[in-house]
A and B are shown apart, each in its own frame.
Chain A
């Protein structure tokens, strides 16, 4: 069992080194490692290995200590598995209108954070990958945009009002207000206001991520489990130590 523990620690160290190499690559190129196929495979392999090790920790090792520590241990390790599954789902199954644009003249690549939607224009189809935000007979429209500025001209706040409506009757089905940090959901699609290029248009990022709630549950459990296990594991002060401190002999002096 000790050997397995050592191997697990060594593997964790290797994964950390891989993260280090990825960081160096990201730092020098500015590209995400998961954009390329090789990078994506490396990341997924590392995460899968971590998930397997975590499952091993949950099943093989006996956990001692107080009950809150035990609960924390199991919650946080289960959360890591959840989080990894959610992350892989996010990487593989997310459909988004974010894409890389390559300039034909210069060859330079840039990421486009969504599509431009003109205010007041009716869109009968909002394609995101192979999915459509709209059901049959529905239209989508950006009703209005609003921007507030600081005194020096820097944007302080911006929002866009969007709606889906019945194309024949014009009756609104869903109306939402988007602003930065406040995306909204329509039919399971998450819509973000990325920027306002001018007073008559809005750049919207539309995303369908089936792994979103798995990741969120994983994060919540991981944070709760880490706090529980790390804070409940401190040894209670023994009577001998208490007496030593009371007599002025305790502590490690500097």
Chain B
């Protein structure tokens, strides 16, 4: 099950992505297959989250949202794109970008297909009220960073103006990233006795935060927008470094659990 659900989920997301492309849409005029596939992908993704949750309880007796391993975090991250897409469509009035969300979900869901669900015991330091909000906020921020990056790539390749969508993504991303960063700082003070320990992962997350902060400021001036666009690209690069540095490459860090 640990492999089957992510594989089915990723395939469904890729299929939805293909069906959501404008050219395919024009050929297949009926939107129903796309919608059915999308609902199926969401259900499979949700089932994978639920399965992780139940397996955590059964194997380790832990009643936690499934964030115990990178595998579980990535499955949750793939699901985060759904509420964000709804919010961006309803509140920011940016429609027609479903392909980016689906591609982002599909890419993220591909990761767990090649990973093991290594559930380790929770060390005492992770048993904190800040653990879930810290990861939850960051997952939302990272999801939006990925979408902003994909839209920016499209804008650069096709030389189109998608600034409204990109700014919307960054504007939603930034509060979540701020909350995640400073939630982590308060937690660090509780557990290690320091708000800021200059750990390698903390430093990269600070750079990412600076990147998006500067990006928001640059987008406010027409003449500076070209620099802001570069920062959207580098933002995702920093996110990837922050996310994978200690979790995958196992660089010595207080964040390596």
Seen from chain A, the residues whose Cβ lies within 8 Å of a Cβ on chain B are 2, 5-6, 8-9, 12-13, 15-16, 19-20, 22-23, 26-27, 30, 32-34, 87, 90, 96, 98, 113, 150, 152, 154-158, 179-183, 190, 192, 194, 205, 207, 212, 215-216, 219, 222-223, 226-227, 230-231, 233-235, 237, 241, 245, 250-254
Contact = CB atoms under 8 A, between A and B. Distances in A.
B186 interface: yes
B193 A156 contact: no
A219 B185 contact: yes
Interface string B117-137: 000011111011000000000
Interface of B: 20-22, 91-100, 121-125, 127-128, 154, 160, 162, 164-165, 168, 171-172, 174-175, 178-179, 182-183, 185-187, 189-193, 195-200, 203-204, 206-207, 210-211, 213-214, 216-218, 221, 224, 227, 251-252
Contact of A205 (B193, B214, B224): B193
A128 to B, nearest CB: 12
Given A90-B195, A183-B193, A254-B21, A227 B171 contact: no
Contacts of A16: 207, 210-211, 214
B252 A180 contact: no
B70 to A, nearest CB: 19
Contacts of B210: 12, 15-16, 19
A26 B183 CA distance: 22
Given A158-B124, A254-B22, A12 B213 contact: yes
Given A98-B193, A231-B172, A254-B99, A19 B214 contact: no
B97 A252 contact: yes
B221 A2 contact: yes
Contacts, number: 149
Given A26-B198, A27-B251, A181-B127, 10 more contacts: A6-B221, A9-B218, A152-B121, A158-B124, A180-B125, A180-B127, A183-B193, A222-B178, A252-B97, A252-B165
Contacts of B178: 222-223, 226
A74 to B, nearest CB: 16
B198 A230 contact: no
A231 B175 contact: yes
Given A13-B214, A30-B252, A253-B22, A230 B171 contact: yes
B198 A234 contact: no
Contacts of A113: 192-193
A116 to B, nearest CB: 16
B80 to A, nearest CB: 17
A87 B196 contact: yes
B92 A234 contact: yes
A12 B214 contact: yes
Contact of B198 (A6, A33, A250): A33
A150 B120 CA distance: 11
A155 B214 contact: no
5 contacts: A6-B221, A27-B200, A32-B197, A227-B175, A254-B21
B221 A180 contact: no
Contacts of A34: 198
A192 to B, nearest CB: 5
Nearest to B207: A19
B204 A155 contact: no
Contacts of A27: 200, 203, 251
Nearest to B216: A230
B191 to A, nearest CB: 5
Contacts of B94: 251-252
Contact of A223 (B93, B175, B187): B175
Given A9-B214, A9-B217, A254 B123 contact: no
A13 B231 CA distance: 10
10 closest Cβ contacts across the A-B interface?
Answer: A251-B96, A251-B95, A23-B203, A180-B124, A32-B198, A16-B210, A254-B99, A227-B175, A226-B175, A219-B182
Given A90-B195, A254-B20, A23 B204 contact: yes
B163 to A, nearest CB: 10
A23 B207 contact: yes
A207 B96 contact: no
Contacts of B251: 27
Nearest to A182: B190
B203 A22 contact: yes
A80 B171 CA distance: 18
A81 to B, nearest CB: 15
